[in-house]
Amino acid sequence: MRFRLESAHPYPFMRCYCSICRKTAGSGGYGINLAGDYGTLKVTGKKNISVYRALLMDEETGRRTRSSGRRHFCKRCGSALWLWDPSWPDLVHPHASAIDTALPVPPEHTHIMLASKASWVEVQAQRKDRKFEGYPDESIADWHRRLGLVTAVTPRARRKRRGGATS
Ligand SMILES: [Zn+2]
C-alpha cells in the first residue's frame, strides 16, 4: 500500500517512549510521531490496512478501556503507518519511519512519556532537548512555531514536502 499527505510541521522531533509506540513502532525504544493534515491523506491499497486500538489500563482503578487512537498498520508487512484519533479529527500522525520523503533534521528533540520507558533504553538527549514524564506541554505545531520552522504550504513546496510510503 502507499499513502501520502501534506504537513506544515514535518520535523521528526518528538520521541514517544510509551509502551504502545515503542512496541508497535520503535525497536529503538521510542516511536517518532509526525503531524499532518488529515484532509490531504491519500491512500492506495486500503485493503491491506488494519487498525489497532490499544487496551489502556488505569493504574489506580485497574479499569481497561480502548484507546481512542486508531493505529493503522499494513497487514501484509506489519509496518506501523499512522495514528488517527477522532478527538483531533483534522490531524493525522504518521510515523516518521513510514515516510520515504527526506525529512528535515530537527535542531532539538522532545522526549515524552518517559515514565513508560523500557528500563534498557538510554535517552539520547542533546543539550536543548525537552523531557516529559507524560504528555508534553507543547504541541507538534507549537514546537515548529517556537523554533520558526513552520513552512507555508505553497503549491511548489507542497510537492516537496509530501511524504509517502510503499510496502
Ligand atoms: Zn506513544
**pLDDT of the chain, 167 residues: tens digit per residue:** 999 999 999 999 999 999 999 999 988 999 999 999 999 999 999 999 999 999 988 888 999 999 999 999 999 999 999 999 999 999 999 999 999 999 999 999 999 999 999 999 999 999 999 999 999 999 999 999 999 999 776 544 444 445 555 44
75 Cα to the center of ligand 1, angstroms: 20
19 Cα to the center of ligand 1, angstroms: 7
Looking up cell 510509551 gives 18
31 Cα to the center of ligand 1, angstroms: 7
18 Cα to the center of ligand 1, angstroms: 4
Residue 115: which of 27, 17, 24, 25 has the closest Cα?
17
Q: Supply the pTM of this predicted model.
A: 0.85
17 Cα to the center of ligand 1, angstroms: 6
Pairing mode, if any, of strands 42-44 and 2-5?
Answer: antiparallel
99 Cα to the center of ligand 1, angstroms: 18
Pairing mode, if any, of strands 42-44 and 64-66?
Answer: unpaired
167 Cα to the center of ligand 1, angstroms: 23
